[in-house]
A and B are shown apart, each in its own frame.
Chain A
Amino acid sequence: MVADQDRQELTERFHIERLWVYYGNTPALRDITVGIPADAITALIGPSGCGKSTFIKVLNRMNDLVPGARITGTVRLDGEDVYGPGVDPVALRRRVGMVFQRPNPFPMSIYQNVAYGPRVHGQRDERKLRQIVERSLRQAALWDEVKDKLHRPAMDLSGGQQQRLCIARALAVEPEVLLMDEPASALDPVSTAKIEELCQSLKADYTIVIVTHNMQQAARISDRTIFFLAGEVIETGPTSSFFSTPKDRRTEDYITGRFG
């Protein structure tokens, strides 16, 4: 199914096989088998309600917190079953970071927002913490804007700055994977462009999975695209060929906007 020559070029970070997710008795994802390549950007597209957020939350087990959610099938991260008996979801979430649609800074200062994660994970050395905060804020392209007001409340930042702060916060715990669920949907074009640039600069070191409703955005920034429809994966492939020569009729309808 998946273009095999492409699979050889990129090592897989996640491998998902025969995944079903149910809310109560209603399946939200049906028999998904798909891979997420390492050190690349994978875009998830599809109409509202098709299961993109459900899929992304399976990868870091945030779905565990949804009552009535149930999964079958396997999700492997670097070969290890994420839902295996010995896996601690709290430890997993540290490796698989997440950025949400709406910026959700902690009710603390900018500095504390970034330092919180490393501190909880055992980093007590304030000098090291300062280094981590600066590095993370630089990675998130926010340092220059906030370096003089690190101890001001994070809530005073603009929406776009808050979202980059949330990215910095996620990067501060040094995850291997960064999941982003429509990170730019509440932002203006300038902030959106900043976040896109940021993804590009991060992909050398991070596996990035980004949900987006914006087809141009998916085409611009991603290396692979996965198209969901009504809980199923309809098509997946390298982004360039995905958009230029979609194989499935439904994909073509969706990306050309002929879809309901």
Chain B
Amino acid sequence: MILSRRACALCALGAAALGAAVAGVNVVRGALFALAPGVGGMLAASLAVVILSLAAVAPPALGVARERAWSEPGPVEAWLLLVSATPALIVGMTALVWFVERAGLGFSLVSGALGLALMNLPFAALGALQAVRQDERSAGTGALALGVPEARVFRDIVLPASAGALARVALRAAARAFGETAVLMFTAGVEPASASPRGLMGGSATLAVRLWYLTSQGQGTGAQARACALWLTVIGVALALAGRPREAPVTERGR
């Protein structure tokens, strides 16, 4: 079947990307150690978990969007909204059981990324759904009315039409993940990264977790804490600003 062949290609692509990420992460980490003396390892860990978690969240979120693009908002949205309000602490403990312990991934960046993915999935799915629906009222419906099959319409019309909105959802999800502490404490650990890292399978505090830890130890005004806070603020604000919703509110013109 065409679909399954495409799915295989996607999986292969995903695996290749993952491989490249694993290989690249040490290079990047080395660069960041030089760029941000003292907190480079934490910065690298933050970026790694955020990017990996986005890669994990994108396919299921787009899948939900594709399935529900032509439906009126209903119970699926209500559930996603409810679940997306799950306290991060609970997501963190769940991830601890599932990924760190049962899946045997230990305290690692991979566990952290999966934990963040778990946290962001309802948020991202809901966002993706809203992004594609903003178009669905117009161009996608027009294509369906030409006798184009739904899957083709989603690929050809809806995705390109909502690419900007989808990218902004991803940036908002990244901003949430970047500042997250509770989930990562339970999954990636609180130990600062050393200069000789173990790649994605090693654990490391992220910037946010490290800042939380230092503050809890009464070292919240130290040089390292200030460096963490600076990077957190700069990148977090940049992500949030880049991802701010831009589309005009949907208003039905006429009757």
On A, residues with C-beta under 8 Å from B are 48, 60, 62, 65-68, 90-95, 97-98, 100-102, 104-107, 116-117, 120-121, 166, 169-170, 173, 182, 185-186, 213
Given known contacts A106-B161, A107-B157, A185-B254, is B139 in contact with A116 (CB within 8 Å)? Answer: no
Contact with A along B127-160 (1 / 0, CB 8 A): 0000000000111011111111100100011001
Please give the number of chain B residues whose Cβ is less than 8 angstroms from any Cβ of chain A in the complex. Answer: 24
A68: chain B residues within 8 A (beta carbon): 72
Question: Bound state CA distance, A155 and B72, in angstroms?
Answer: 26
Q: Is B255 at the interface (CB under 8 A from chain A)?
A: yes
Q: How far is the CA of A67 from the CA of B74 in the complex (A)?
A: 9
Interchain CB contact under 8 A, A98 and B139 = no
Known: A185-B254, A186-B253. A60 touches B145 (CB 8 A): yes
Chain B residues within CB distance 8 Å of chain A: 70-72, 74, 137-139, 141-149, 152, 156-157, 160-161, 253-255
A182 CA / B148 CA spacing, docked (Å): 23
Q: State A68–B157 Cα separation when bound (angstroms).
A: 25
Chief secondary structure at chain B's binding surface: loop
Taking the closest CB of chain A, its distance from the CB of B113, in whole angstroms, is 33
* Given contact pairs A90-B147, A105-B139, a sample of 20 additional A-B residue pairs in the complex whose CB atoms are under 8 Å apart: A62-B145, A91-B147, A93-B145, A97-B145, A98-B145, A100-B138, A102-B254, A104-B142, A106-B143, A107-B139, A107-B157, A107-B160, A107-B161, A116-B146, A116-B148, A116-B156, A117-B146, A117-B148, A169-B142, A182-B254
Contact A170 B253, CB 8 Å, known A106-B157, A107-B160, A116-B156: no
Sampled A-B contacts (10; CB under 8 Å): A62-B144, A66-B72, A67-B71, A100-B142, A101-B253, A105-B142, A106-B142, A117-B146, A169-B146, A185-B254
For B141, the chain A residues whose CB sits under 8 A away are 62, 100, 104
Asked whether, in the complex, the Cβ of B148 is within 8 Å of the Cβ of A120, the reply is: yes
B139 contact set on A, CB distance < 8 A = 104-107
- Chain A residues within 8 Å of B146, by CB: 93-94, 97, 116-117, 120, 169-170, 173
CA distance A124 to B152 in the complex (A): 16
Residues from chain A with a CB closer than 8 A to the CB of B72 are 66-68
The verdict on A93 contacting B254 (CB below 8 Å), with A100-B141, A102-B138 known, is no
Rounded to whole angstroms, the CA-CA distance of A60 and B141 in the bound complex is 12
Task: Establish whether residues A90 and B149, one from each chain, have CB atoms under 8 Å apart when the complex forms.
Answer: yes
Q: How far does the Cβ of A64 sit from chain B's closest Cβ, in whole Å?
A: 9
The answer for the CA separation of A173 and B144 in the assembled complex, in Å, is: 12
